[in-house]
Amino acid sequence: MGNPAYDAYRENVAGRSDVADTPELVAYYQQLAQLDTAALWTVANKIEPWEPKSASVPVLWRYRDLREHVLRSVDLVTPEKAGRRVIYLDNPGRRDVSAAVGWLYSGLQVMHPGEAASAHRHSSSALRFIMEGRGAYTIVDGHKMTLGANDFVLTPNGTWHEHGVEADGRTCIWQDGLDIPLVNTLEAGFYEVHPDLRQAVGHPVDDSVALWGAAGLRPQGQRWTHRYSPLFKYPWEPTYEALCRLARLQEGNPFDDTLMHYVNPVDGGHVMATIGASMQRLRPGFAGKAHRHTGSFLYQVAKGRGHSIIDGRRFDWQERDIFCVPSWAWHEHANASDSEDACLFCFSDLPVMEKLGLYHEQALADNGGRQPVAPLPG
């Protein structure tokens, strides 16, 4: 084997690095390495790319494939031993960090009636989106919430939280979403198990919704200074009604049709400091145009069926399927039905992109805004 090549990233473009290896330079590079340094021009074109190229790949996780495996975990491990019985989505391009896409983690968790996971808290922000079952609940800092299918619930960073299913409920499956990989890579992750393993419920059930879940109304005398929403639960029915009402009144946007962001009612911003979420409705027959933007996005099909074309590959989805759009990947969504609407739940690191000034967006100009589609891999 010969010397390593230091000139692998050369570009013959004005303003870019274009230095060929010479014996003298290679010797110089080796001296630099001994001082824990290196020459920028050997890596400049690599570390300053013209545009983002995500390490994540587009993936569709079919619920009909996953469901039985998720349920099987109940037989294989106990909550006590496993902590939580979760099958997580492991993007082939991000196996090193256990991410579904970008720096976002997601998993499917199952719980039987009468079970509960132990309470803990961590630096990561977390959310759940309920997929099936009855009797699920979450407790956040003493506030208990009851949950049904397509309900969206927050367990923000730093809050004590635990999940369970009532004894008279039915086996529940939900999707967890967290920024664990982001917090880890930013080297800021702390974790604590609750000293009692359980927390007391210190407030009336669903009080968060009663206090903060009224449109255009703020309860008197409630101060809130956290960076996350005091409204912990966003129920499905009013969300779906709001989308339908808005869709009746005005045309949607060419990429997403009718989309609403879940927000913190205290300041109108994203629900948590690092994770945003939205629900969108594709009207019957909708076929969106393609665009791309920075940030990593994970979708769950809350209703209906259709397809998305992501970086030229077509993914056909139906209710409960999950798919991801990596950063700066072209994507377009279409509803397969001419009579039924389709709804996509989505969570993302959009707050991170926005706060750090890194959000960029581009519409596809060519081909009427539609991507050419490659055949699905065998």
Choose, by CB under 8 A, the member of 25, 26, 74, 287 that binds a copy of itself: 25
Tell me the Cα Rg of the chain. Answer: 23
Residue 2 or 64: the one with the smaller Cβ distance to a copy of itself is 64
What is the phi-psi region of residue 98: left when phi exceeds 0, alpha when psi lies from -120 to 50, beta otherwise? left
Choose, by CB under 8 A, the member of 26, 112, 113, 118 that binds a copy of itself: 118
6 in contact with a copy of itself (CB under 8 A):
no
3 in contact with a copy of itself (CB under 8 A):
no
274 in contact with a copy of itself (CB under 8 A):
yes
Query: How many other C-beta atoms are found inside a 10 Å radius of the C-beta of residue 372?
Result: 8
Backbone angles phi, psi at 170, to 5 degrees: -125, 155
Choose, by CB under 8 A, the member of 5, 72, 170, 285 that binds a copy of itself: 72
Residue appearing with tokens 């990989």:
181
Exposed/middle/buried for residue 215 (C-beta within 10 Å: 0-12, 13-18, 19+): exposed
- Rounded Cα distance, 377 and 357, in Å: 36
304 in contact with a copy of itself (CB under 8 A):
no
Minimum CB–partner distance for residue 285 and a copy of itself (Å): 20
68-78 residues labelled b (16+ CB within 10 A) or e (exposed) = eebbebeeeee
Minimum CB–partner distance for residue 138 and a copy of itself (Å): 16
Choose, by CB under 8 A, the member of 8, 167, 358, 373 that binds a copy of itself: 358
- Rounded Cα distance, 283 and 244, in Å: 9
Choose, by CB under 8 A, the member of 1, 23, 64, 92 that binds a copy of itself: 92
Choose, by CB under 8 A, the member of 5, 8, 30, 77 that binds a copy of itself: 77
Count of residues touching a copy of itself (by CB under 8 A): 143
Choose, by CB under 8 A, the member of 40, 167, 201, 374 that binds a copy of itself: 40
Looking at the DSSP bridge assignments, the partners of residue 253 are: 257
Chain CA centroid to CA 226, Å = 21
Residue 1 or 14: the one with the smaller Cβ distance to a copy of itself is 14
37 in contact with a copy of itself (CB under 8 A):
yes
Chain CA centroid to CA 187, Å = 20
In total, the chain counts a number of residues equal to 378
H/E stretch holding 351 reads helix 350-355
Are 99 and 164 contacting, i.e. CB atoms less than 8 angstroms apart? no
- Rounded Cα distance, 169 and 132, in Å: 11
Mark the segment that binds a copy of itself (CB under 8 A) among 47-55, 136-144, 332-340, 366-374.
47-55
Kindly state the DSSP code that residue 43 receives in the 8-state scheme: T
5 in contact with a copy of itself (CB under 8 A):
no
Site residues for a copy of itself, window 278-297 (CB under 8 A)?
A: 278-280, 294-296
Minimum CB–partner distance for residue 263 and a copy of itself (Å): 5
246 in contact with a copy of itself (CB under 8 A):
yes
Minimum CB–partner distance for residue 226 and a copy of itself (Å): 9
Tell me the two tokens of residue 101. 């896409």
Mark the segment that binds a copy of itself (CB under 8 A) among 132-140, 220-228, 309-317, 365-373.
220-228
Residue 101 or 336: the one with the smaller Cβ distance to a copy of itself is 101
